[in-house]
Amino acid sequence: MNTFKTYHPIVNFAYFTFVIVFSMFFMHPVCLGISLFCSFAYSILLNGKKAARFNFLYMLPMLLFAALVNPAFNHEGASILGYLPGGNPLTLESIAYGVSAAVMIVSVICWFSCYNAVMTSDKFIYLFGRVAPSLSLVLSMTLRFVPKFKEQMRVVANAQKCIGRDVTGTSMLQRAKNGVSILSIMVTWALENAVETADSMKSRGYGLKGRTSFSIYTFDLRDKRAMIAISLLGIYVAVGKFAGGLYFRYFPTIKSVAITPYSISLFFAYFALCMLPIIIEIREAQNWKSIKSKI
């Protein structure tokens, strides 16, 4: 259920670089809407029910909270709706900006959850292990840290449970004590694990000159096509942004670039770029169906 993951790492990386950078910098409401929709759709496609629950249980409240907080601190804008108790004005522009910034944050978080599901650490090491060995090792270890920590925590907690140190049930004080002992075990484990990983990589000659490394990735026709599509769409959108085709400002008055066929084409290109993995997924499913029906 994850065809895009089987593509060459450079294709995955190019896609996520474009999409995450664009999500961060494009403040046009249409672009934000596209980004939010696609990130939600793709994360649900990748992680299923878990992602859907996370998105609607945590991301949506966070979106609302961030949108509400902005007008409390930002009072710029020409259309005054009313006055806050402090005496500063409440403006339409600050509310609009708050909503947009909140949508941006949520969609970027969502894109990163997709990134983690697709770009595994071996892919990252494959891409950057040669260029910056120590940096890529540290980065991949850092990115792996939280999920690995969670997993180990579960193991340790279960082991502690077996010897009667339960973190559920008993009195508050006892639970806190057991929790602290688990935490101390975890910290020790994390430090030791990091040192061990580094040592083991070093003993294998990681990052030495002239050393080759095995990889299972080949850049075939499929990757070539995807890469061309991603870079063409990405460059078209980026050029459009620099040419002012996606201009939108919130302060002091809300003003958008005129909606012309050109800007609509930019929106479509951006949408196509964001939807690319989902399109690939759908096409793959259709392909599989047709092959199956032939048998």
Partner 1 sequence: MKKYGYKILAGLAILSVLAAAFWWGGNAPSLRGRKDAQTSDINNTLTAHIPAQPPVDISSERESQQQKDTSNNPLNEKEAENSDNKAPVTTKKEDSGGVETVSLDKPSAEPASDEKPVPESRKDEETADKQLTCTLSVRCDTILKNISWLKPEKVELIPEDGIIFAEQEVVFYEGESVFNVLLREMKKNKIHLEFENMPVYKSAYIEGINNIYEFDCGELSGWMYRVNGDFPNYGSSRYQLAPGDKVEWLYTCDLGSDIGGGSSFQGIRR
Which residues contribute to the site for partner 1 (CB under 8 A)?
Answer: 75-78, 80, 83, 85-89, 91, 249, 251-253, 255
Residues forming a β-bridge with 82: 90
**Nearer Cβ to partner 1, position 9 or 245?**
245
Give Cα separations from 152 to 140, 146, 157, 165, 189 (angstroms). Answer: 18, 10, 8, 17, 9
| Maximum C-alpha span of the chain | 74
Dihedral over Cα of 1, 55, 226, 281: its sign: positive
Residues β-bridged to residue 83? 89
Which residue, 253 or 260, has its beta carbon nearer to partner 1?
253
CB of 253 to partner 1, least distance (A): 8
Shortest CB 258 distance to partner 1, Å? 16
Toward partner 1, which CB reaches closer, 78 or 232?
78
Q: Are 11 and 277 in contact (CB under 8 A)?
A: no
By beta-carbon proximity to partner 1, the closer residue of 177 and 249 is 249
Could you write out the DSSP letters of every residue in 27-49? --HHHHHHHHHHHHHHHHHHHTH
Strands 80-83 and 89-91: antiparallel
CB of 26 to partner 1, least distance (A): 18
The strand pair at 89-91 and 255-256 is best described as unpaired
Nearer to partner 1, 80 or 138 (CB): 80
**To the nearest whole angstrom, how small is the minimum distance from the Cβ of residue 256 to partner 1?**
13
The residue written with tokens 């959850």 in the block is 113
94 vs 136, beta carbon nearer partner 1: 94
Which of 232, 221, 250, 227 is CA-nearest to residue 70? 250
CB of 128 to partner 1, least distance (A): 19
